[in-house]
């Protein structure tokens, strides 16, 4: 018999915020300076709730379902970097708690760095988790295949968790459960991802855009975190990024893959905390 699911991601209240250009779903808690968390492609803000819990005693923590994902709006178009970036700027303005620390994983990393470069008045600093310029074309080709493969109907939550465990073999069971519990909706025949398939395809294509200008031009403090075993950000891509911006600190997390904040949450938390406190 399947045990009752751990819905720890529900500890933070969820609401939809009209930022003028789109309505975004967020989970939020805590008090103090603002930290915004931005997930990777096909995921949603719930994946960051364990990290939010660690920072909520010092900060106002807000995890965002980015456009096309989770319970946020899913327009027919508008999935280039600039679209996500303007969402971030408008959300910070709407929350009205001053400039924000941006913590982004993968897609969220790209969006956070680009937002800091385009809207420095809205951003205090950025933690960019496992996404940099110079990602190889074949890596993006593999990402496209994985993104498209997720668009299917699953019989039940157990089937979802089995699929996710195979797709993300290094993510621990509790984090897999959060993805399964938060990322799917009931449809005829079973459960289907909340993320819009058309939006995911456009978003994946948009990830190939040149990220060098944003990294070159960003003036706010940026911490780069890479999983040592990441299949998305190669050691060569990271080295080129460091040559582009030798002033940006880098943390490489031993034994972690692309999903650093889920596979190595303790190290990720300490790295972010040390960077913020410094």
The residues annotated as belonging to the active site are 106, 130, 258
User: Residue 257's CB: how many other CB atoms inside 10 A?
Assistant: 20
2: nearest Cα among 156, 153, 158:
158
- The Cα 166–Cα 105 span in angstroms is 20
Beta-carbon contacts of residue 266 (< 8 Å; ≥ 6 apart)? none
First CA to last CA across the chain, in angstroms?
Answer: 48
Name the DSSP class of 264: S
| Type and span of the H or E element at 23 | strand 23-30
User: Residue 213's CB: how many other CB atoms inside 10 A?
Assistant: 12
Q: Are 156 and 186 in contact (CB under 8 A)?
A: no
| 225 three-state secondary structure | strand
Pairing type for strands 34-38 and 60-65 reads parallel
Q: Compute CA 230 distance to the chain's CA centroid, rounded to the nearest angstrom.
A: 15
SS3 content of the chain, % helix, strand, coil (to 5): 45, 20, 35
């Amino acid at each position: 018999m399947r045990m009752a699911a751990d819905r720890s991601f529900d500890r933070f209240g969820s609401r939809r915020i009209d930022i003028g250009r789109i309505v975004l779903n967020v989970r939020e808690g805590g008090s103090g300076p603002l930290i915004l968390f931005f997930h990777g492609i096909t995921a949603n803000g719930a994946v960051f709730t364990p990290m939010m819990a660690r920072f909520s005693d010092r900060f106002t923590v807000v995890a965002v379902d980015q456009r096309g994902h989770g319970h946020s709006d899913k327009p027919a178009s508008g999935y280039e970097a600039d679209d996500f970036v303007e969402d971030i700027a408008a959300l910070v303005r709407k929350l009205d708690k001053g400039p924000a620390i941006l913590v982004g994983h993968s897609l969220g990393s790209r969006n956070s760095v680009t937002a800091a470069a385009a809207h420095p008045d809205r951003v205090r600093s950025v933690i960019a988790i496992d996404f940099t310029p110079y990602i190889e074309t074949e890596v993006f080709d593999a990402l496209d295949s994985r993104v498209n493969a997720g668009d299917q109907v699953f019989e039940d939550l157990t089937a979802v968790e089995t699929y996710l465990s195979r797709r993300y073999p290094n993510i621990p069971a509790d984090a897999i459960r959060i993805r399964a519990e938060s990322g799917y909706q009931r449809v005829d025949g079973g459960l289907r991802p909340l993320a819009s398939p058309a939006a995911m395809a456009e978003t994946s294509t948009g990830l190939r855009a040149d990220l060098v200008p944003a990294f070159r031009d960003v003036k706010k403090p940026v911490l780069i975190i890479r999983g040592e075993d990441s299949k998305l950000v190669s050691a060569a891509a990271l080295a080129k990024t460091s040559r582009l911006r030798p002033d940006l600190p880098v943390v490489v997390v031993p034994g972690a893959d692309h999903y650093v904040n889920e596979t190595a949450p303790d190290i990720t938390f300490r790295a972010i905390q040390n960077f913020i406190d410094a």
